[in-house]
Amino acid sequence: MGLAAWFLGRRNGAARTVRLPRDYYVGLDHLINDRFDHAAEIFARMAEADGDAAEIQFALGSLFRRRGEVDRAIAIHTRLREHGGPGLADKAAFALALDYQSAGLMDRAERVLEELAASREYRRIALDHLVRIYEAQGDWAKALKVFHELPPAVQAERARVAAHYLCELAEHALVQGEAERARTLLRQARTHQAVLPRADMLTARIAQQAGDAGGALLLYLHALETAPGLALEIIPSVLAIARQTRRHDMLNELGRRLRQSGGVSPRQLAWLLATAVPAEDMSQLPGITAELGGGVESAAEASTLSALLTRIGDAGGRYQCDECGLNSVGWYWRCPKCRSWDSMSPAVFKWAERTDHVVRAS
Ligand SMILES: [Zn+2]
């Protein structure tokens, strides 16, 4: 009994200490009855006087944002930013940037985040959000600029991403017919990442445009060796150049180089070639895959396999993201769903791998 009395007394005591100001209930009443401006005004007044009330408002603000009522979230966070005092300004600014992002008002989000990059506490997260916005907009120059503002350790960790930004810029320059500028950008890209198949492919395109078919060929082959997953993108270009330069042994050379790269199993390689090789070169395929020890034994089988893979590929996508599993018909350097770089690989890789497991298990 004594213990229960003590406990109840304690509980009552605790309840007595939670005493909210009358303004809070009035504000809540306005909120519940959709008199939002009155509510915001009262809460803002409370925020000036009391830090806890500001926390209540932040909670309300993110609640509104999550419910899709972004206007309300923006109103709350704007007031907090302007009238909440110096201790809250940055936190409110960041919340506001999130509101603008979810409202699709990217230019406003950008402005707030750029201001926040000067804050010590929010600098890093503001830069990360800015990068995400610029990547989504395909504004690679700005993404690169923000990259250079990141701490050196983070820059080192994301060197590959910076190289991709520069490749994106080079690709754009190429489309504009500015080969020299593209070349400079690719050189810069290689300072971030020395082994860079994407830069090889772009340099090959520049060489091809300049009439240097032999140079282009070597670059494509080099890219393929370092990244066999690019086979579907590269093999058709390689075979076109080979035909043009009368190098009829090219498929053999391709097979040899891919095998040397060590990145693919013989079956993966055979399936990859069966998907990537154009119909007119199909008759050469069995010889090559037999040499590789892969699963294709006759021209008819190669052609059936190719037709099958194309059909499956068309239905489900020729590529799949290793990170999020997204299927895609076209090639992306950066997955459009999960935003990972270099995560797409030919779907045949995985099918062949599964078959490899089955074969090994039986
Ligand atoms: Zn993905």
User: Ligand 1 centroid to 343 CA: how many Å?
Assistant: 7
Ligand 1 centroid to Cα of residue 132, in Å, is 15
**pLDDT tens digits for range 66-115:** 888 899 899 989 988 998 777 889 999 999 999 999 999 999 999 999 99
Assess contact for 217 and 245: CB atoms under 8 A.
yes
Burial class of residue 76 (count of CB atoms within 10 Å of its CB; 0-12, 13-18, 19+): buried
Provide the pLDDT for residue 9: 46
Q: Which residues surround ligand 1, an ion (CB under 5 A)?
A: 321, 323-324, 326, 335, 337-338
Cα Rg of the chain (Å, integer)? 30
Cα 320 to ligand 1 centre (Å)? 8
Confirm if 93 and 125 have CB atoms less than 8 A apart.
no
Of 24-28, 52-56, 171-175, 296-300, the range with the highest mean pLDDT is: 171-175
- What's the predicted TM-score (pTM) here? 0.77
Residue 136 alpha carbon to ligand 1 centre in Å:
14
CA of 284 to the centre of ligand 1 (A): 35
- What SS3 class is residue 340? coil
More confident residue, 23 or 160: 160
Instruction: Check: CB of residue 96 under 8 Å from CB of residue 74.
Output: yes
Is 283 within 8 Å of 303 (Cβ atoms)?
no
350 CA to centre of ligand 1 in angstroms: 15
Helix (H) or strand (E) holding 319: strand 319-321
CA of 144 to the centre of ligand 1 (A): 22
pLDDT surpassing 80 at residue 302: no
**How far apart are the CA of 332 and the centre of ligand 1, in A?**
10
